[in-house]
């Protein structure tokens, strides 16, 4: 993953390069094309960048939204040649939403879900977060890694969407060392979890 300054530069660069590789026009779709829908189910988060990676796209990723945004409640469809793609949606502050990898068929990527609240994990430390866990405080185990193989790199912020409740939170580095732990965190509304280096 890239640090935030480089990510912002790449996003701006991609904005300049993007020129209609995807669109939100509904028209007909041939057998040689797929439709990727990006659905904003959040209450108050704007999707400002949709970085796509795949054949015939820039290696650094191309923002196929161009000057458009996806406001809460809106859906935008991208019609692309039938290949394999990855997508990283970003907010207007370049916080990562829910990435999707290896999309090769019609696909619907939903950001947020009814009954959940957004939690922003802001990694302001020098370490990359390789695993992240939200476990209900009354649970005996940590459950599955919420990153699912992704990484929250140093200098990057990433949104998760969780059901309101009280959670134990754990962040691990590549070697499995604990980078951050907080028990009994009540989450009932939009929450920011800042992670910084220890003093």
Structure tokens at 197: 């280096």
The angle at the Cα of 129, spanning 123 to 131, to the nearest 5 degrees, equals: 135
Query: pTM score, two decimals?
Result: 0.81
Distance CA 124, CA 121 (A): 9
Average pLDDT rounded to a whole number, residues 167-181: 93
Output the pLDDT for position 196: 83
For the chain, percent of residues with pLDDT exceeding 90: 75
Same-domain check for residues 81 and 21: yes
Give dist(CA 196, CA 199) in Å, integer: 9
Our count of domains for the chain comes to 2
Give 178-184 contacts, CB < 8 A, sequence gap 24+: 179/125, 179/127, 179/129, 180/129, 183/137, 184/137
Residue finishing a domain among 111, 140, 175: 111
> Which residues in 47-82 are b (16+ Cβ under 10 Å) and which e?
bbbbbbbbeebbeebbbbbbeebbeeeeebbbbbee
The residue among 188 and 9 whose pLDDT is bigger is 188
**pLDDT tens figures, 2-23:** 444 444 444 433 333 333 344 4
Q: State whether 121 and 105 are in the same domain.
A: no
Residues 10 and 98 both lie in one domain? yes
CATH assignment of the domain containing 66: 2.60.40
Q: What is the pLDDT of residue 149?
A: 87
What torsion, rounded to 10 degrees, do the Cα atoms 41, 152, 154, 96 define?
-20
Mean pLDDT for the chain overall:
86
CATH number of the CATH domain containing 171: 2.60.40.2890
Indicate the residue among 111, 131, 154 that finishes a domain: 111
Give, as one character, the DSSP assignment of residue 71. -
Same domain for 57 and 36? yes
Domain boundaries, position 29: 4-111
What confidence score (pLDDT) does residue 195 get? 84
Do 140 and 77 fall within a single domain?
A: no
CA distance 156 to 88: 13
Indicate the pLDDT class of residue 199, thresholds 50, 70 and 90. Answer: low
Give yes or no: residues 89 and 43 share one domain: yes
pLDDT band with cut points at 50, 70 and 90 for residue 58? confident
Output DSSP code: residue 21. S
> Sorting pLDDT into bands at 50, 70 and 90, what band is 197?
confident
> Dihedral, CA atoms, 86, 90, 170, 138, nearest 10 degrees?
-100
Structure tokens at 165: 């409740």
12 and 66 inside one domain: yes
12, 93: one domain: yes
Do the Cβ atoms of 33 and 82 come closer than 8 Å?
A: yes
Overall average pLDDT of the 83-98 stretch:
95
19 and 99 both lie in a single domain: yes
At residue 119, does pLDDT exceed 70? yes
For residue 198, what pLDDT is reported? 63
Co-location of 8 and 102 in the same domain: yes
User: Based on the domain organization, do 104 and 138 belong to the same domain?
Assistant: no
- Where among 81, 111, 141 does a domain terminate? 111
Please check the confidence at residue 187 and state whether its pLDDT lies above 90. Answer: yes
Same domain, 89 and 11: yes
């Amino acid at each position: 993953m890239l640090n935030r300054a480089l990510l912002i530069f790449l996003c701006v660069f991609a904005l300049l390069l993007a020129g209609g590789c995807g669109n939100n026009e509904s028209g007909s779709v041939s057998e040689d094309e797929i439709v990727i829908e990006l659905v904003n189910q959040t209450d108050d988060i704007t999707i400002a960048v949709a970085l796509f990676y795949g054949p015939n796209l820039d290696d650094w990723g191309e923002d196929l939204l161009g000057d458009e945004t996806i406001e809460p409640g809106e859906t935008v469809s991208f019609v692309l040649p039938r290949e394999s793609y990855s997508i990283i949606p970003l907010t207007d502050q370049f916080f990562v939403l829910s990435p999707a990898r290896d999309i090769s068929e019609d696909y619907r990527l939903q950001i947020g879900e009814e009954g959940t609240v957004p939690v922003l994990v802001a990694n302001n430390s020098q370490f990359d977060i390789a695993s992240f866990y939200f476990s209900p405080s009354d649970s005996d185990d940590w459950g599955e890694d919420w990153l699912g193989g992704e990484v929250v790199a140093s200098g990057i912020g990433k949104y998760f969407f969780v059901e309101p409740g009280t959670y134990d939170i754990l962040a691990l580095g590549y070697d499995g060392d604990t980078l951050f732990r907080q028990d009994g965190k009540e989450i009932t509304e939009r929450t920011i979890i800042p992670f910084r280096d220890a003093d």
